[in-house]
Structure 1
Amino acid sequence: MKTEAFSTPQRQSVAGIALIFLTTLFKFLRSFWVLGVYLVLKTPSGPVLFYILLGLAVTAILLIIYSVLYYRNFLFHVDYKNEEFVLQKGVISTENIAISFDRIQQVYFKRSLLERIINVYSVIIDTAGSNNEEVKISAISKQDADALAAILTRVKNENIEGPLEGEEEVTADETWTYKLDVLALLKIGVSSNYARGLGLVLAFFMTLYNELNTFFKDYKEELGEYYETVPNVLDSVGIFSVLLILLLFVSIAITMLEVFIKYFGLKLTQTRDNMELEMGLKTNTKVSLQPRRVQLIEIVTNPVKKWLNLYEARIALASSENSLQKKKIKIPGLGAGEVIKVQKFLSGDLERSFMKIFRPHRIMLLRRIIIVLLPLLVSYLLFYWKEYIDFSIWLVLALGYLLLGITYQILKYRSLELEFSDEFLLKRQGVWNKREESVEIFKMQGLTVKQPVWYRKRNLVNVEFHTAGGDISFRAVKKTVTTYLNYILYKVESGNKRWM
């Protein structure tokens, strides 16, 4: 009689002892790094050095004992009868965790540099309603990791009586594969938002500039004429322009480095039952996505990326987080064809029998323009109270601010769309970064309709659509939208599809 996989309690790979020891040692050293610096600077000798070495030896022995005990007490198995994953762990106090299959939202793999060296995987399990990873099983073989992930992501009502043996039974036939090459990574790095990198580099150079000024002032007498020369050079327009260009290139380089570290080796594979994503240079992550567990899909691009045929898919699973930005899986560097394949597999065909598009009322644009005018009004009142700048300069700056601010608000207003179809809800927005969020109607968990006092005369409402992966809101829309909201409620109540 064959034994079902993982039906009996088992431990991690023996290599897990080394992994636990080194991880605990790193945490220990990170906590007491100040003491280490002190000892290096003081360079103790004699009895003091002996006691320090003795203390380090005792600490290392205690860490080894802790690692062995943690390894031996870490037991996990699959309860097929109750359809649960059961984990027991702990050294001083024992913790028992039981997770039912239908609560598991995502099972994915991570591999740090150390785990890749010893050729093991970490399996991480996310559950519905959990902000953080609930369970992490370190140091197991690839075959065991694949088998465990396949079991844990099964649908609750599937027949799980048969054994799972070997790779042939845990891996479905491959349908198509997409790999992100080095050229695509370079394109992503060049076209990505590198404002954050520019800000970091700018802050560094500003700090360096202030330190140089302070240094030259402190040693003014010793440096003599050099003190008068250097600040003038630093303050010149030419040097400032060169530094600005240099900062721009450095920020792009930082962004490209970040892109390479996060997305190097990205591989997207669709099989019959799921879609597997693997990526990462420093920490390699492997995620398996099932269509019924995907709650929201967001497609992001900008004019430069669109010209380069680059799109980014952001996929949200069930989470207690209230925003797609907080809980998402990013797949960058997709072409238009790959985006269609991803959408079609994870949420079905986007073809619709009917379509209705709503746009916000122009009162929203008016309110946004008023908000743009407020800082200008404050600056004018300050100028009227005290002339802190020449009026002609203020006028030029004010006109430039008005032109940019109002143009941006008009473009943002025009980009807002809310689309209803027979099976999907879509929201589009964005001036530079174009974003399209889509959700299958049967996965809706609730609707909220609010009507502020100032909307009643114009018969407008604010609507919010709640899903397990985040909320989609739309403001200042005509009240006729309630007809389509009722349709959504009907589809949710009358349907029998599983949304998790």
Structure 2
Amino acid sequence: MQIDFKTPQRQSITGIVVMFAETLQGVIRAMWAPLLIILFKLEPEKYILVGLSFLGIIILVGIVAFLKYRNFTFFLDEEKQEFVLSKGILNKSKINIQLSKIQQVNINQSIIQKIIGVYSLDIDTAGTDKKEISIRAIDQNLALLLKERLLDYGEKEEMLLDENQEVIPKEENIAKPFIKISYVTLFKVGITSKYGRTIAILITFLVTLFQTFKDAVDTFELDETQVDSVFEKGFGMISVVIIIFGILILVLFINIIRTFIKHFDFEMVRQKKSLVVTSGLFAKKNTLLNPFKVQITSFSQNFFQRKLRILDMNMKQASNDEVNEKQKKSNVIEVPGCESGERDAILKLILGKIPEKGQEFKPNFRYLLFKILFSVIFPILIFIVLSFTVIDDLYFYLPLVFVYLALVGFMIFYGFKNYRMYSNSEFIILKHGAWDVENEIIQPHKIQGITTKQYFWNKSADVGHLTLHTAAGDVHFHFGNFSEIKLLVNYWLYQVETSNENWM
């Protein structure tokens, strides 16, 4: 059976459940605080009224979900080479996207979608501040066919389904395995990467938990002195060493769990002109992207990963300058725990060859002075001032200052040692990092803009800063030789203006 995307189509009928759940979730998020106050303060005899009101909200949400389903249609305009979507309840809108602008198509599945057997299909285009189109409920096989048509829009052959609505593959279209990450490798990734991010999440959770507990104490008018005494007794029985050890174990445990949930059954295959990445435990994510539209390719490795012979790779897609960090991260394709041979295969696929470093550029020693000033001198001065003026007992923590100096000194030294820029006629490589040493690779023709900066106090030393602007974000090189930087900028601008390469 042929699938004709030229005529308007609706989502799966079971998608009404997804839209109902998402709409209800939005209502609950907006009203949870007033509802809790009402439930605590309301007299028992008025609970029936609350129940009827909640039933009315459920009915209203159901009507909204049905109208969202009814008014949501999509189709392919072959003549104009556009994907057209119509949606809306009261204010109806129509979105037209040029197929040539589509850079990434994601097929995801949340827990609710997994229960009812549907998928969501999200379409990203370069230069937008959000996902242009999100189809919330679509059959898997139809989603796979649609994403192929969207990214391989230049090919006119019809896609076929058999009587069981399964894709009938042509011999040349069968996806062949490219990279598959094993569970052992995921465990290695979990214990060797993203310590800082996990600690930040843990601290955020503990702060939120503390604030929630404090609010509960205020709300229920508990005796704070009794609560404080319980905490003092509890912490008095636990040594600092055990607490630190427990935190380290917790960080590793959270890291491993996060890695398995996000990258479970990670697989990368090459399909026609595109790259298909599939991963996820609870929320299955299937991403199809065009390798030639990748703006920045990077790989990083720390000491433990080097011993285990693994590394992490990132492929950064184009995004608008106005998007927030969370949205930018959604355009980054991560490849966790790949080997050096797999890294080289990915680099060849995206860049056409394994990049060579070329001429090396080092930062001036002022880079080191800048780091020492803001990471060592200022914090210690603040500590000394606080210990003698505001907090009397702060000097008891003086030994921690030496621990801080050792850690920061290590980070500054190796950060300066690894901070390099390499350039040749085909590639620009920015190397940086003290623990996780990252190499960011850019092709000159993908540069959208260049900014150079030199402060007046750096003119005598001929020191300046460089920023390369791309559709996937900015890349910086600070405290370089400004005369060399200006020569490089002129050469890169010449390459951009004379290049016939198309990356959009």
Provide TM-score, normalisation by structure 2. Answer: 0.84
1:312 and 2:320 are equivalent in the alignment: no
Larger mean CA deviation between 99-108 and 61-70 belongs to: 61-70
Task: Kindly provide the CA deviation profile for residues 305-328 of structure 1, in whole angstroms up to 9, marking residues without a partner as x.
Answer: 222223221211111148776742
CA distance in 2, matches of 1:499, 1:406: 42
Matches within 5 A, 1:188-227: 188-192=189-193, 193=195, 194-199=198-203, 203=207, 217-218=225-226
Q: CA deviation at 1:375?
A: 3.1
| One of 341, 345, 348 as aligned partner of 1:341 | 345
**Structure 2: distance between partners of 1:161 and 1:386:** 74
Distance 2:348 2:150 in 1: 24
| Aligned pairs (5 A) from 1:316-465 | 316-321=316-321, 327-352=331-356, 355-371=358-374, 372-380=376-384, 388=392, 394=398, 401-465=404-468
Indicate which of 164, 168, 171 corresponds to 2:159: 164
Q: Which residue of 1 aligns with 2:84?
A: 86
Distance change >3 Å, CA 215–CA 253, structure 1 → 2:
farther
| Runs of 4+ with >6 A deviation | 42-46, 204-211, 382-387, 389-393
Which letter does structure 1 place at the counterpart of 2:333?
Answer: I
- Root-mean-square deviation (Å): 3.4
Distance in 1, matches of 2:423 and 2:18, equals 51
The residue aligned with 2:183 is 182
CA contact 1:201–1:251 (8 Å) conserved in 2 = no
Displacement, 1:180? 2.6
1:275, CA displacement in angstroms? 1.3
Q: CA deviation at 1:100?
A: 0.9
User: Equivalent of 1:68, from 37, 57, 66?
Assistant: 66
Question: Is 1:131 aligned with 2:132?
Answer: no
Q: Give the deviation of 1:9 after TM superposition.
A: 0.9
Q: State the partner residue of 2:478.
A: 475
The answer to whether the 8 Å contact 1:197/1:255 transfers is no
Instruction: Measure how far apart 1:89 and its partner are.
Output: 0.7
Write the distance in 2 (CA, Å) between the matches of 1:50 and 1:378.
59
Q: 1:272 to 1:307 in 2, by over 3 A?
A: farther
Rounded Cα–Cα distance in structure 2 between residues aligned with 1:472 and 1:279: 28
Cα separation, 2, equivalents of 1:460 and 1:137: 51
* 1:343 to 1:381, Cα distance in 2 relative to 1, 3 A: same
Q: Distance in 2 between matches of 1:209 and 1:33?
A: 18
AA of the residue aligned to 1:369: I
Q: Residues 387, 200 of structure 1: CA spacing in aligned structure 2 closer, same or farther, 3 A cutoff?
A: closer
Question: In the superposition, relative to structure 1, how do residues 382 and 185 fare at CA in structure 2: closer, same or farther (>3 Å)?
Answer: closer
Contact 1:24–1:63 (Cα < 8 Å) also in 2 = yes
1:18 aligns with 2:26: no
Alpha-carbon displacement from aligned partner over 1:90-143 (angstroms, at most 9, x marks no partner) = 111111111111222211111111212222211101122212212111211122
Question: Which letter maps to 2:417?
Answer: R
> What TM-score, normalized to structure 1?
0.85
CA distance in 2, matches of 1:76, 1:386: 64
1:492 and 2:490 matched: no
CA distance in 2, matches of 1:441, 1:452: 26
The one-letter amino acid of 2:158's match is P
- Could you tell me how far 1:364 is from its partner in structure 2? 1.6
Contact 1:109–1:124, Cα closer than 8 Å, also in 2: yes
Contact 1:164–1:170, Cα closer than 8 Å, also in 2 = no
Question: Could you tell me how far apart the structure 1 residues matched to 2:396 and 2:255 are?
Answer: 39
Identity across matched positions, percent: 26
Distance of aligned partners of 1:357 and 1:36 in 2 relative to their CA distance in 1, 3 Å threshold: same
Secondary structure of the structure 2 residue equivalent to 1:32: helix
Q: Name the CA shift for 1:5/1:203 in 2 (closer, same or farther; >3 Å).
A: same
Task: Tell me the amino acid that sits aligned with residue 461 of structure 1.
Answer: G
Tell me if structure 1 keeps the 8 A contact 2:310–2:340. yes
Aligned to 2:141: 143
Contact 2:103/2:289 (<8 A) preserved: no
Q: Which residue of structure 2 lines up, in the alignment, with residue 270 of structure 1? A: 270
Aligned to 1:223: none
Residue 29 of structure 1: aligned partner: 28
Cα contact 1:319–1:470 (8 A) shared by 2: yes
- 1:6-43 deviation per Cα after TM superposition (whole angstroms, max 9, x unaligned): 11111111112222223223333343334654676578
Change (3 A) 1:458 1:113: same
